[in-house]
């Protein structure tokens, strides 16, 4: 079956602009996760959803970052007023339920110029 998909695969934006990153989880997966991978920080947890609610937002770096999930499926990660330090690969994962094996998408490479 189809895996986790993310769009766009690459995004180049100017400093100060807003960006939206999209994640489509595996069909039937109730849990969805966002991570960020950068050279200096490795792989960092951002936020996860169980259904449409987000029990843990502890990894969001600042209030410029927000995420939502609607209909228990697609999720959008929004970064407002982007900064150069936001440049990274943003990875999305999903699992059948919280606590189950996580399956990752190919990521969105964000470059802020």
Partner 1 sequence: KQEVTQIPAALSVPEGENLVLNCSFTDSAIYNLQWFRQDPGKGLTSLLLIQSSQREQTSGRLNASLDKSSGRSTLYIAASQPGDSATYLCAVRPDAGGTSYGKLTFGQGTILTVHP
DSSP symbol at 69: E
Q: One symbol per residue from 15 to 54: x for binding partner 1 (CB under 8 A), - otherwise; what is it?
A: ----------------x-x-x------xxxx--x-x----
> How far is Cα 90 from Cα 106, in angstroms, rounded to an integer?
9
Using the rule CB under 8 A, is 99 a contact of partner 1?
A: yes
Q: Which is nearer to partner 1, 23 or 112 (CB)?
A: 23
Region of 18-26, 62-70, 71-79, 104-112 interacting with partner 1 (CB under 8 A): 104-112
* Distance in angstroms between the alpha carbons of the first and the last residue of the chain: 37
- For 2-62, strand residue ranges (E) read 5-7, 10-13, 19-24, 31-38, 42-50, 53-56
Q: HSE-up of 99 (CA within 13 Å, CB side)?
A: 0
Q: Which is nearer to partner 1, 14 or 27 (CB)?
A: 27
CB of 56 to partner 1, least distance (A): 5
Using the rule CB under 8 A, is 91 a contact of partner 1?
A: yes
> How far is Cα 1 from Cα 26, in angstroms, rounded to an integer?
8
* Chain positions contacting partner 1, by CB under 8 A: 4, 31, 33, 35, 42-45, 48, 50, 55-56, 58-59, 91, 93, 98-99, 101-107
């Amino acid at each position: 079956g189809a895996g986790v998909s993310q769009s766009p695969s690459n995004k180049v934006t100017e400093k100060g602009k807003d960006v939206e990153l999209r994640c489509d989880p595996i069909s039937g997966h109730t849990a969805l996760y966002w991570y960020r991978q950068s050279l200096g920080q490795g792989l960092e947890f951002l936020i996860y959803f169980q259904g449409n609610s987000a029990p843990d937002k502890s990894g969001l770096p600042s209030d410029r970052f927000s995420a939502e999930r609607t209909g228990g499926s697609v999720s959008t990660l929004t970064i407002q007023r982007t900064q150069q330090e936001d440049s990274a690969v943003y990875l999305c994962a999903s699992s059948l339920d919280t606590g189950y094996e996580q399956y990752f998408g190919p990521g969105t490479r964000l470059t802020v110029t």
